[in-house]
Structures are given as C-alpha cells and as structure tokens.
Structure 1
Amino acid sequence: MVRRKDPAVRSLLIERAAQMLRSREPITLRSLVAGTDVSTMAVYTYFGSMDGLWKAVRQEGFTRLAARLANVTMTADPVRDLAALSVAYLSNAAANPDLYRVMFDAGFDLEDSEAADETLHLLVRTVERAKSAGRFHPEVDALELATQGWVIGHGLASLVLTGPLPREALAHGPPVLTALFISAGDEPARCRESMGRGWNPECLVGSSNG
C-alpha cells in the first residue's frame, strides 16, 4: 500500500528551509531535518530534490499571498479595494517574514510562475476598475500603476521586516498610496475617504511568523 504524503511534513520542511535561509545557516539534507522527526529521504519524497525544495519554498510565499488577497472582499469602490489589497499584502509579509524574503529571490525558480504573476494581475484588474469608474485618468497604464503600488508595499514591508523601521512604520502606507492614486487622477478628498475605508490597521497588529 502506498503511504500517503503528510502536508504537515511538507510545510515543516518549507518553513525550516526559509528560516535557515534567512539566518544564513548552511543548508544540507542533514541540517534541514536536524532536530525533527523527519528523515532526509523526505526531501526527495515531497520535492524530488533540493532544487525542488527551493522552488517550493519560493512558491509557498506567493501561495500564501494569493490566499490572503483572495480573502479581500471586493466592493463598488475600487480605490477602497486597492487600499484593502495593500493591507492584505503587508499583513501577509508580516505574518510570513521568512517566506516573504525568499519570494523575490530570483536565484530560485518558481513551481508555477503564472500563479505568482496572478497576485500582481489582481491589482492590475482593480486599477482597471478604477479607470472604468472614472477614478483614474483613462490614459493611466494599469500595469505600471499596479507595479508602483507593489513597489511601495514591498519597500515598506522590507524595511520593517529587516529591522530599520519599527512595525508602526506600516502606518506610512496610506499617505504614500493616496499621493500615488491622486497623481493617477483621483479626487483628493474622495481618495482619502476610500483609503480610510479600505485601510484596516488592525490587520497589521500582532502578526507573527506563519
């Protein structure tokens, strides 16, 4: 009888690999499973090889981000939704700091690059909705604006997760994003109102390693 794979073991190995990468520990089959009840063969059972493990580690970061973004309820206000998606992005980074650091390491391939790209495309579609609603100028490039928003979120998350800025610095997100959206054509007062509805600071409090 074929033994079923245990998702908990797969998750354990991914989490441990991400933690070791973050702390710059030498990673070998033996060091990866040291102190666990898992054998070195588990790496081959669950990932096929060490290269397969690295792909899975990076992919897992995007998988968790996608799940967090999918939990955001879309409304009739696309600018509010962009704010809520930004909070989801930052809260995911705060909850999964080790995986977040690996997500953007191009030294490792992805298992499914299209699934990873979809996290950005969700923002692009929301920007398109804002254009259709007359909130942003028609000539605004949706991909460019979504990328600019992503860069803001990534920069803020990285500075907080690596230590230079305290967790409270995440509160700088709304004014920076508001300025970006106003530059794209949104009316200032309306933009601030939408941002206030979408930005829930409680989602950024108390996050820890996931």
Structure 2
Amino acid sequence: MVRTKNPAVRTRLIERAAQMLRAREPVTLRSVVRDTGLSTMAVYTYFGGMEGLWQAVRQEGFTRLAAELGTVTRTKDPVRDLTALGAAYVTNALANPDLYRVMFDATVDLENPTAADDTLHILVTTIERAQQADRFAPGADARSLATQCWAIGHGLVSLVATGPLPHDTLALGAPMLVALFVDAGDTPATCRDSVGRGWPFRPPGHDAGKP
C-alpha cells in the first residue's frame, strides 16, 4: 500500500532548511530532520534527496510570491495596481524572510524554471495596461521598467528585513516609485495619487487618509 504524502511535512522540511541556511548552519541530510521527529528517509520520500530539497526550497519562495501577487485586486488604475504589486512583493518578503533569501540563489535550480519569469510577467502586463491607458509612454520597455520596480522592492527589503534599517524605511518606496513612473511618462500629480493608494507603508504619524 502506497502511503499518502503529507503536505505539512513537506512544508516543514522546506522551512527548516531555509531557516538553517539563513542562520548559516550546515544543512545535511541528518541535520535537517534533527528534532523534527522525522527520519532521513523523509527527505528522499518528499524530495528524492538533498538536491531535490534545495530545488523545492527555492521554488517555494516563488510559489509564495506568486500567491501574494495574486491577492492584488485589479482596478481601473494600472499605476495603482503596479504599485500594489510592488507592495505585495515587499509584504511577501517580510512574511517569509528565510525563503526570500534562498529564492535568489541562482546556484540552485528551480523545479519550475519559468517561475521567476512568471512573477515578473505579472508586472510587465500591468505596465502594458498603463501604456494602453496613456499613463506611460508607449515606447517604454515594459520588461525593463518591471525590473526597476522589482529592484526598488528588493533594495528596500534587503535594508529592512535582512539589514540595518527600521520598518519605517519602507515608506520611501512611494517617492521612489513616483520618480520612476513619472520618468516613464506619467503626470506627477496623478502618479502621486495612484502610488499613494497602492503603497500601504507609511511613516510614523502619517494620516492614513492621505496618500
């Protein structure tokens, strides 16, 4: 009789491996199951071995990112939506700091190599919507602009989640995105309004009713 795999066990091993990597602990077949009540056979059962575990750890980072991006509601304002996707990127990284550090380790293959491109493509299609709505210049390189949005989010996360700066630093993302989007063709006042509605991170004492 084939034993049904338990998704919770798979997730537990993935998260434990990510935590150990973040703490710079040596991750071996034995150490990853230590104190979990699982045997080393679990790594083979769920991942086919350590190489499969590494791939699954990195893949899980993109899986959770895609899920978070999927929570962003599409509105009639593509610039607001693009901003909200950037905020979702940051939110996911803060919620999953261990997996976030591993997902960009290109020395490890992904189970699904298109996962990273798929998440970036969500931003690309939103930028194309902004171009069609005459918010961004039609000649702008959508993929390049999406990468720049990613870079802003990644930089902020690196400084806050895994770096020395306080959470309030995330508020700086709004003016950075405004500058990027105005350079892409949006008008300053309209852009500030859209970004203000899409970026939830505020400095202390900020009136939540204002962008």
Range into which the TM-score falls when normalised by the shorter chain: over 0.9
CA RMSD of aligned residues (A): 0.9
- The equivalent of 2:183 in structure 1 is 183
User: Post-superposition shift, 1:95?
Assistant: 0.1
Counterparts of 1:29 and 1:52, CA distance in 2: 12
Counterparts of 1:95 and 1:74, CA distance in 2: 22
Give the letter aligned to residue 61 of structure 1. G
Unaligned ranges ≥5, structure 2: 203-211
Matched, 1:97 2:97: yes
Whether the 8 Å contact between 1:63 and 1:116 is mirrored in structure 2 is no
- The equivalent of 1:82 in structure 2 is 82
CA distances 1:25-74 after superposition (whole Å, capped 9, x unpaired): 01111111111111100000000010000000000000000000001001
Correspondence list, 1:34-73, <5 A: 34-73=34-73
- The equivalent of 1:205 in structure 2 is none
- The equivalent of 2:108 in structure 1 is 108
What is the DSSP-based 3-state SS (H/G/I as helix, E as strand, rest coil) of the residue aligned with 2:114? Answer: helix
User: Post-superposition shift, 1:115?
Assistant: 2.4
Counterparts of 2:101 and 2:66, CA distance in 1: 16
Counterparts of 1:108 and 1:165, CA distance in 2: 29
What is the DSSP-based 3-state SS (H/G/I as helix, E as strand, rest coil) of the residue aligned with 2:174? Answer: helix
Counterparts of 1:122 and 1:162, CA distance in 2: 25
User: Post-superposition shift, 1:163?
Assistant: 2.3
Correspondence list, 1:1-210, <5 A: 1-201=1-201
Counterparts of 1:96 and 1:162, CA distance in 2: 11
Counterparts of 2:153 and 2:115, CA distance in 1: 20
Whether the 8 Å contact between 1:69 and 1:85 is mirrored in structure 2 is yes
User: Post-superposition shift, 1:116?
Assistant: 2.5
User: Post-superposition shift, 1:167?
Assistant: 1.4
Counterparts of 1:116 and 1:188, CA distance in 2: 31
User: Post-superposition shift, 1:160?
Assistant: 1.0
Whether the 8 Å contact between 1:84 and 1:198 is mirrored in structure 2 is yes
Whether the 8 Å contact between 2:75 and 2:81 is mirrored in structure 1 is yes
CA distances 1:139-175 after superposition (whole Å, capped 9, x unpaired): 1000000001101111111111222211111111100
CA distances 1:165-198 after superposition (whole Å, capped 9, x unpaired): 1111111110001100000010000000001111
Counterparts of 2:93 and 2:169, CA distance in 1: 14
Q: Of Structure 1 and Structure 2, which has the larger fraction of its residues in helix?
A: 1
Using the size of structure 2 for normalisation, the TM-score is 0.94
Counterparts of 1:180 and 1:115, CA distance in 2: 26
- Identical aligned residues as a percent: 69
Whether the 8 Å contact between 1:87 and 1:199 is mirrored in structure 2 is yes
Report the number of matched residues: 202
Runs of 4+ in 1 over 4 A off after TM superposition: none
Whether the 8 Å contact between 1:33 and 1:39 is mirrored in structure 2 is yes
Counterparts of 1:164 and 1:176, CA distance in 2: 20
What is the DSSP-based 3-state SS (H/G/I as helix, E as strand, rest coil) of the residue aligned with 2:195? Answer: helix
User: Post-superposition shift, 1:114?
Assistant: 1.1
User: Post-superposition shift, 1:113?
Assistant: 1.4
Higher relative contact order, structure no. (Cα contacts within 8 Å, ≥ 6 residues apart): 1
What is the DSSP-based 3-state SS (H/G/I as helix, E as strand, rest coil) of the residue aligned with 1:200? Answer: coil
User: Post-superposition shift, 1:200?
Assistant: 2.0
What is the DSSP-based 3-state SS (H/G/I as helix, E as strand, rest coil) of the residue aligned with 1:201? Answer: coil
What is the DSSP-based 3-state SS (H/G/I as helix, E as strand, rest coil) of the residue aligned with 1:126? Answer: helix
Unaligned ranges ≥5, structure 1: 203-210
